[in-house]
Amino acid sequence: VGDGLRVGVLGCGNVGAALCRLVVDHADIIQARAGTALDVVAVAVRDIGRTRDVPVAADVFTMDPAAVVQDPTVDIVVEVMGGIEPARSLILDALAAGKPVVTANKELLASHATELLAAAEATGVDLLFEASVGGGIPLIRPLRESLAGDRIRRVLGIVNGTTNFILTRMTEDGSPFGEVLADAQRLGYAEADPTADVGGHDAAAKAAILASIAFGAQVVAEDVAREGIAGVTADDIASARELGYVVKLLAVAEEEGGAVAVRVHPAMVPVSHPLASVRDSFNAIFIEGAAVGQLMLYGRGAGGGPTASAVLGDLIDAARNLRGGSRGATIGTLVRKPVRPLDELHSRFYIAMDVADRPNVLSQIAGVFGRHEVSIESVFQKGLGDEARLNIVTHTAHEREMRAVLAEVRELDVVDRVQSVIRVIGDDG
């Protein structure tokens, strides 16, 4: 330990350990870019007895995270422990003590960003969280700084690696969801309880953070309309391919007329769209700005190395600002903006339904669509007799009307069931 800035790290899982290694391996780069060395002087862990592949002295570990934050010799705090508490209280304490904080905590930011940013504003210190969305992909700094003068209209993101891996395998191997999920679990790409990923909860948290940053708005995970991928069938994926689309789990955040709309759901994306070629566990964020047009930022959305790279970028920023007695660009205070409910949104829809193959089926179904003024773009019938399936793609329609159509269609004698409803994204949205 030398005379560099003194860093306290809360948590030593994948990201914390990778960070400690990077601080040592990239000491030359850090010195050059931060203008100072960084010394990890304290690492708070849950189990101090565990052996760790981390290049720090044994006496650096502690089981008392509060002591790390309160240690007057710790200049900067890195929070990579995850979860709401005690992370939230520890960060608030650090900020109150005037210490810059770097965090990778998606769950916390998606629920308490307003409070945390206000605390950072109150004491005028840096609170940086590039790693909380999109792992190693630079997202927050580009949105906050590079595009500072632009008006962001929409952000479309593939922000969950597990579901993108599953959908990629379903697309490329033609396997059904359950089989691919089991494979992913065996390979360690999916958790034993896959709900957080498959149900879209992880993506919804990230969507809330992206919307907060892109629009400066108070958006939390509960504001995000959410649908997972468990209902996506091999049939849907095959139909998508025939129509020139691939199925992706998208986080969509928009601002229009001062109101924001944020949702997570499976979507058909045209094969020519840049998001369509984001394969396996990669993440990407597609941004539409008034002046800049279309942008995409692509990379590894998870993993120790990529996430630690983003944490270290923030840490160098905070260190440089601390040395210069200045403060980095801030998000400022998040503003309360109306959140538009899903019902008011609109998109194109793909609907797959099992129908009886009788002469007047289509006219009955089309009649329902027509009465609700949902215009049909194309219809394909597959199979014959009792095995018939109808695939319908609509023109742009409101969610509310679409829901009314589906309720009514389900009542028709000729419709056995509505198998899938998937929103369809155009090349221009």
Using rule CB under 8 A, residue 389 touches a copy of itself: no
- What DSSP assignment string belongs to 238-260? HHHHHHTEEEEEEEEEEEETTEE
Q: Please give the Cα distance from 287 to 376 (Å, whole number).
A: 29
How far CA 224 is from CA of 117, 140, 343, 417, in Å, comes to 20, 19, 13, 28
Of 184 and 308, the one with the shorter C-beta distance to a copy of itself is 308
321 binds a copy of itself (CB under 8 A): yes
Shortest Å, Cβ 86 to a copy of itself: 26
Judge whether 284 and 142 are in contact, CB under 8 Å: no
Q: Pick one of 57, 89, 145, 242: the residue that binds a copy of itself (CB under 8 A).
A: 145
Nearest Cα residue to 279 out of 163, 114, 398, 139:
163
Q: In sequence order, which residues have a C-beta less than 8 Å from that of residue 187 and are 6 or more positions away?
A: none
Q: Which stretch binds a copy of itself (CB under 8 A): 46-54, 317-325, 356-364, 389-397?
A: 317-325
Site for a copy of itself in 19-78 (CB under 8 A): 22, 25-26, 29-30, 32-34
Taking the least distance from each CB to a copy of itself, the nearer of 147 and 361 is: 147
Minimum CB separation of residue 221 from a copy of itself in Å reads 24
Paired residues of 270 in beta bridges: 245
Q: Which two tokens stand for residue 364?
A: 């009955």
Please tell me whether residue 98 binds a copy of itself under the rule CB under 8 A. Answer: no
Per CB under 8 A, 209 contacts a copy of itself:
no
Residue 332 within binding range of a copy of itself, rule CB under 8 A = yes
Closest CA relative to residue 178, chosen from 204, 158, 198, 196: 198
Q: Is residue 312 close enough to count as binding a copy of itself by CB under 8 A?
A: yes
Burial class (CB in 10 A: 0-12, 13-18, 19+), 264: buried
Examine residue 291 and tell whether it contacts a copy of itself (CB under 8 A): yes
* CB-CB contact of 22 with 308 (8 Å): yes
The answer to the question of residue 141 lying near a copy of itself (CB under 8 A) is yes
Give the nearest distance from C-beta 269 to a copy of itself in angstroms.
12
Of 206, 248, 337, 382, catalytic: 206
Size of the site for a copy of itself (CB under 8 A): 62
> Exposure string (b/e) for 1-33, b if CB count within 10 Å is 16 or more?
eeebbbbbbbbbeebbbbbbbbbeebeeebeee
For residue 248, indicate whether it is catalytic. Answer: no
| SS3 track for 94-133 | HHHCCCCEEECCHHHHHHHHHHHHHHHHHHCCCEECHHHC
Q: Does 241 bind a copy of itself (CB under 8 A)?
A: no
**Angle at which helices 27-34 and 14-25 cross, to 10°:** 80
24 vs 63, beta carbon nearer a copy of itself: 24
Near a copy of itself by CB under 8 A: residue from 274, 362, 382, 419: 274
62 and 45 Cβ atoms separated by less than 8 Å: yes
Select the span of 139-147, 340-348, 367-375, 379-387 touching a copy of itself (CB under 8 A). 139-147
- Does 84 bind a copy of itself (CB under 8 A)? Our answer is no
The site for a copy of itself (CB under 8 A) is made up of: 18, 22, 25-26, 29-30, 32-34, 130, 136-138, 141-142, 145-151, 216, 272, 274, 276-279, 282, 284, 289-300, 303, 305-306, 308-310, 312-313, 315-317, 320-321, 324-327, 329, 332
Q: Which residues are catalytic?
A: 206
